[in-house]
């Protein structure tokens, strides 16, 4: 009897999750039908109120002040204000992309130089790609070009696999997975959203198939970490992408997403290492951190400053390693 009650409760909870998901998805789909110009008007209004009420102001101010120690406070204050606008642009552009066509998405995000990636993928069926929270990382479909993967060819014809960590809230987790999968389908790409812990198994399952495995790898890590100097301060980075690449000898590439103008992004690639077998632990991740840092210094607003990036404490051995590397 007790088991039956539990089973019934699980069914009710599952149905509630589905109902909430479709309410959320339906609402966002309707909103996404608005013209793109309207989203930027809404973004300006929301950014004004975020600045007025100081959304995560202390986190943003501390992150920026430590990263730009020579920057005057007045400049940092202006930077924070511009960041609020950028943050709202990201959120609303991602909603707009739900109903936008592949051609419309590629009017926002483009890949001006594909030669290096095309050549690399012609030699290697699988490539690990690392990217930070720069530009608008939700518009990955733009890498396949305005006509989609079938017409674009080259590296864009490889299946895209986006690594992610499952959200605690099931409704939001289902929403973001569906939103990202929709971007792949529009591009005609056969990739999937994969939990990071399943990436290695997925690669080993079919070594002959082509695949670009994308890791958003600048979060604050709990385990599998690499110590480095990033934005003028000791920083811990996720080592998962490096582990997968070096374990299987897969090339590792940095993907930068530069915000060249409001509503305009350019994706560029830098080869970190083609032959990753035998590269010392931490080296590939530090190269990634260096490339990401370079992009942030070039465009100060273009990063997720409201994230609590430096919340993890260093272990004693990590402190010693940092001293050896940088002091």
At 182 the pLDDT is 86
The DSSP 8-state label assigned to residue 157 in this structure reads G
In angstroms, the CA 202 to CA 204 distance is: 6
Instruction: Report pLDDT digits (tens) over 12-65.
Output: 556 688 899 999 999 999 999 999 999 999 999 999 999 999 999 999 999 999
233-238 and 159-164: which strand pairing?
Answer: unpaired
- pTM summary value: 0.91
| Cα angle 251-300-323, degrees, rounded to a multiple of 5 | 65
What are the structural domain ranges in the chain?
103-326
Instruction: Compute the distance between CA of residue 116 and CA of residue 121 in angstroms, rounded to an integer.
Output: 9
Mean pLDDT of 156-181: 86
The CATH-assigned architecture of domain 103-326 is: 3-Layer(aba) Sandwich (3.40)
Inter-CA distances, 304 with 85, 133, 161, 300, 315, Å: 12, 6, 22, 10, 25
Asked which of 131-135, 181-185, 320-324 is least confident by mean pLDDT, the reply is: 181-185
pLDDT of residue 299 exceeding 90? yes
Q: How far is CA 19 from the centre of its chain?
A: 28
Out of 186-190, 242-246, 260-264, 296-300, least confident range: 186-190
In this predicted structure, what is the pLDDT of residue 6?
45
In the predicted model, what is the mean pLDDT of residues 275-291? Answer: 95
What does the pLDDT average to over 123-149?
Answer: 89
What pLDDT does residue 189 have?
A: 83
Residue 199 in this model has a pLDDT that exceeds 90: no
Q: What percentage of the chain has pLDDT greater than the value 90? A: 67
Give the pLDDT band of residue 204 (cuts 50, 70, 90): confident
CB 250 within 8 A of CB 120: no
Q: How confident is the model at residue 4 (pLDDT cuts 50, 70, 90)?
A: low
Q: Are strands 264-273 and 252-261 parallel, antiparallel or unpaired?
A: antiparallel
Residue 180's CB is within 10 A of a number of other CB atoms, namely 21
Which residue has better confidence, 152 or 121? 121
- 245-282 residue pLDDT tens: 999 999 999 999 999 999 999 999 999 999 999 899 99
Supply the pLDDT for residue 140: 81
Instruction: Say what the pLDDT of residue 5 is.
Output: 45
pLDDT of residue 1: 55
Close Cβ partners of 217 (under 8 Å, ≥ 6 residues apart): 130, 131, 132, 237, 238, 240, 241, 285, 288
- Is a pLDDT exceeding 50 seen at residue 177? yes
Q: What is the reported pLDDT for 172? A: 85
Task: Dump pLDDT digits (tens) for 60-103.
Answer: 999 999 999 999 999 999 999 999 999 999 999 999 999 999 99
Tokens representing 199? Answer: 């990436």
Mean pLDDT of the chain: 90
Contact yes or no for 44/111 (Cβ under 8 A):
no
Start-end of H helices in 163-225? 170-186, 199-205
């Amino acid at each position: 009897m007790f088991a039956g009650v539990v089973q019934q409760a699980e069914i009710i909870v599952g149905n509630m999750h589905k109902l909430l998901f479709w309410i959320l998805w339906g609402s966002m789909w309707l909103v996404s039908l608005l013209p793109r110009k309207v989203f930027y008007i809404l973004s300006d209004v929301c950014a004004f109120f975020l600045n007025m009420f100081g959304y995560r102001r202390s986190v943003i101010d501390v992150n920026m002040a430590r990263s730009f120690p020579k920057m005057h406070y007045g400049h940092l204050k202006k930077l924070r204000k511009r960041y609020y606008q950028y943050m709202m642009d990201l959120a609303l552009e991602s909603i707009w992309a739900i109903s936008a066509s592949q051609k419309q998405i590629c009017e926002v995000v483009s890949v001006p130089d594909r030669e290096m990636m095309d050549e690399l993928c012609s030699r290697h069926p699988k490539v690990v790609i690392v990217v930070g929270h720069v530009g608008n990382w939700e518009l990955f479909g733009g890498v396949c070009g305005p006509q989609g993967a079938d017409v674009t060819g080259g590296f864009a014809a490889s299946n895209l696999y986006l690594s992610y960590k499952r959200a605690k809230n099931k409704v939001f987790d289902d929403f973001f997975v569906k939103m990202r999968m929709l971007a792949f389908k529009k591009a005609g790409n056969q990739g999937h959203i994969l939990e990071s812990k399943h990436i290695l198994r997925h690669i080993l399952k079919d070594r002959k198939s082509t695949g670009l495995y994308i890791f958003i790898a600048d979060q604050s890590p709990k385990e599998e970490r690499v110590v480095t100097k990033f934005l003028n301060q000791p920083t811990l980075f996720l080592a998962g992408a490096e582990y997968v690449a070096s374990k299987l000898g897969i090339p590792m590439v940095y993907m930068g997403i530069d915000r060249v103008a409001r509503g305009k992004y350019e994706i560029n690639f830098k080869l970190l290492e083609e032959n990753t077998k035998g590269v010392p632990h931490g080296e590939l991740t530090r190269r990634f951190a260096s490339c990401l840092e370079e992009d942030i210094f070039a465009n100060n607003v273009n990063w997720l400053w409201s994230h609590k990036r430096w919340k993890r404490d260093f272990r004693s051995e990590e402190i010693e390693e940092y001293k050896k590397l940088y002091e």
